[in-house]
Structure 1
């Protein structure tokens, strides 16, 4: 059966990995900086941080934005649990916003109706690599003076009006490089900041709040005059993970091209069908086609039929508002309709669609 996800790993990297393992330099170093440089070049953004995991990336973002227990954030429940669980960890109050049932993307009108004086940040998830209405969401939040975080957990390489996610004017963008993403660093992630000051604050938070330029005195001992002013995490990516990331970035364009070609074949196959249609794409968006999204009349039957044809189909995620950890099990019409009809089929680099 053709899998819905598959971890990519470049060929012939064993020698370099062995050298790293015995180099005495396993923590963040030259490969970490090289990986960040390649991310900057690919995305077209200056302020990029690589981190040890997507979860750490989200926690760093929450800390960098100064969010505290009890603060209110708005997010979409149509997303990966990994996107929203950090809110529970931080004790934030989550207000769920409805989605457009034709796209799965955050509904601008519903978002606007739910912003209050207590809203501290908006987390705009781009479900399965299909970008939402970024211009409308950003315009609404800018009018209220509220920061927006583009949650690109599955959307690295997705484009909007010719520019890649992370270079679309949003305050912060978060990516995952977990095993089934592109690129994957076995585990890892990245954060992109529009603002230099937030980026520099996040640099400290990524590394326990430490300013490494003054952390040690000339004799190599810890400098007591180096104050720790912000909370922080063990968020630096290792040299091993960073090296794997650099090699994956060498192949990223060709891998995404295969996925785009596979999507074109699915587009043709699902044209003018009564029981299943391609997921509607936001105007100006080119998804990365991490998966290929469809909307079908009978979700259970569609998944079964695809599996019988040798394609592993799935709903991917379930709406997160059902989980008691978020204490907000509100019923949302668009969310319910989308979840009841969305089915993803394989579109990845590992097969040639025919």
Structure 2
């Protein structure tokens, strides 16, 4: 049996490597990008505004500001709500570092909150325990695409008069109680990195229903500079005149990228449907295996499933998580791990954060593995993942 595993010299389940995530780009996407390349505008043109409207309409928001990446989206959201030195911001512990870094960019302090051990999302009960008179906002992450418990988070935010920024990097197309993610928080950010629900190559967006926040983010996206006559403070010398009103950034996105985004948005629902089909296959295959725990989805969430996290019950296996991970990689299954709790990164440890801060997050990190999940996966690809997981578990089973 030992020789059966590829890591020990056996034949792998697949002959070619299957990545954990991958963009899905077709001829329509390419043709729309080429059309922009032949047009008068390559950046900061009409296609950016068209893409913004398409995303805003889809999620049910009034306004959208597209930017160069998802991190920039988080940053301008924090800037717009006025996060500054001395402010504290509640952040989920299991997420990509950008969800907390955006607070540091503004001079604020991330306050990490533990996860719900079932949903892996930020635990509302723990949020309230961490609120102080310095708390300015909550950054709630829809981990893997599952919507956070927005009603409960809204109750807490309203009670303490703090802002909700929903980090929806994983959840474009997901729903909370039948409403699209992006229509419920004060601001919601999305990412368009290649492995996300749709891609613009790199890119991000912030959606909101607040006109004042929208106008601030427009400024922060482009150096804090405006030609808007209603905002100019000084004498207008002529139609060329502009002023810098804030210390903004060059976070602009291009028309080239947004052309790809417009085409991708037309396929988003199909992408999400395919992701849900694959997750259904995974759940059916692994549900009765005591060595693993499949993801739990609460009734209020209809996830778009950016990630599929399989938790390995290591007390029932004669191995470590690392051994499982390496064995699956040798089977040509491109597994990954999402994520190291942010405060355990060396940079955050230098800031004074210590292990033990969020026990549920740390416990999950030690035993979770991300399986491949993207719309272009074939039925055979899904079969290969299932076969490889069962093959590795069969060898290491106690």
TM-score, normalising length from structure 1?
A: 0.92
Aligned to 1:233: 249
1:3 to partner: Cα distance: 1.4
Correspondence 1:307 to 2:332? no
Work out whether residues 126 and 155 of structure 1, in 8 Å CA contact, stay in contact via their aligned partners in 2. yes
Instruction: Please give the alpha-carbon distance, in whole angstroms, between the structure 1 residues aligned to 2:73 and 2:123.
Output: 25
Aligned to 2:342: 320
**Among 13, 38, 60, which residue is 2:54 paired with?**
38
Correspondence 1:184 to 2:208? no
Correspondence 1:270 to 2:286? yes
1:25 to partner: Cα distance: 1.4
Instruction: Please give the alpha-carbon distance, in whole angstroms, between the structure 2 residues aligned to 1:152 and 1:136.
Output: 17
Q: Secondary structure at the match of 1:187?
A: coil
1:162 to partner: Cα distance: 1.1
Aligned to 2:240: 221
Work out whether residues 294 and 342 of structure 1, in 8 Å CA contact, stay in contact via their aligned partners in 2. yes
If you compute each CA radius of gyration, which structure gives the higher value, 1 or 2?
Answer: 2
Aligned to 1:139: 155
1:310 to partner: Cα distance: 4.1
Relative to 1, partners in 2 of residues 1:102 and 1:308: Cα closer, same or farther, differing over 3 Å? farther
Q: Secondary structure at the match of 1:55?
A: helix
Aligned to 1:196: 211
Aligned to 1:339: 365
Instruction: Please give the alpha-carbon distance, in whole angstroms, between the structure 1 residues aligned to 2:53 and 2:338.
Output: 32
Correspondence 1:9 to 2:9? no
CA RMSD of aligned residues (A): 2.1
Q: Secondary structure at the match of 2:36?
A: helix
Work out whether residues 278 and 373 of structure 2, in 8 Å CA contact, stay in contact via their aligned partners in 1. yes
Work out whether residues 132 and 282 of structure 1, in 8 Å CA contact, stay in contact via their aligned partners in 2. no
Relative to 1, partners in 2 of residues 1:147 and 1:162: Cα closer, same or farther, differing over 3 Å? same
Instruction: Please give the alpha-carbon distance, in whole angstroms, between the structure 1 residues aligned to 2:236 and 2:198.
Output: 38
1:105 to partner: Cα distance: 1.0
Aligned to 1:290: 306
Correspondence 1:256 to 2:272? yes
Pairs within 5 Å for 1:40-79: 40-79=56-95
Q: Secondary structure at the match of 1:254?
A: helix
Work out whether residues 30 and 260 of structure 2, in 8 Å CA contact, stay in contact via their aligned partners in 1. no
**Among 97, 101, 106, which residue is 2:113 paired with?**
97
Work out whether residues 54 and 189 of structure 1, in 8 Å CA contact, stay in contact via their aligned partners in 2. yes
Relative to 1, partners in 2 of residues 1:184 and 1:118: Cα closer, same or farther, differing over 3 Å? same
Instruction: Please give the alpha-carbon distance, in whole angstroms, between the structure 2 residues aligned to 1:41 and 1:221.
Output: 33
1:324 to partner: Cα distance: 4.0
Q: Secondary structure at the match of 1:122?
A: strand
Q: Secondary structure at the match of 2:226?
A: coil
Work out whether residues 124 and 150 of structure 1, in 8 Å CA contact, stay in contact via their aligned partners in 2. yes
Instruction: Please give the alpha-carbon distance, in whole angstroms, between the structure 2 residues aligned to 1:64 and 1:43.
Output: 20
1:84 to partner: Cα distance: 1.9
The unaligned stretches of length 5 or more in structure 2 are 1-16, 315-320, 384-398
Per-residue Cα deviation, 1:103-136 (whole angstroms, up to 9, x for no partner)? 2111112111110001111111121212222221
Correspondence 1:329 to 2:354? yes
Would you say how many aligned residue pairs link Structure 1 and Structure 2? 350
Instruction: Please give the alpha-carbon distance, in whole angstroms, between the structure 1 residues aligned to 2:300 and 2:222.
Output: 37
Instruction: Please give the alpha-carbon distance, in whole angstroms, between the structure 1 residues aligned to 2:335 and 2:106.
Output: 34
Work out whether residues 59 and 181 of structure 2, in 8 Å CA contact, stay in contact via their aligned partners in 1. yes
Aligned to 2:391: none
Q: Secondary structure at the match of 2:366?
A: helix
The unaligned stretches of length 5 or more in structure 1 are none
Correspondence 1:163 to 2:179? yes
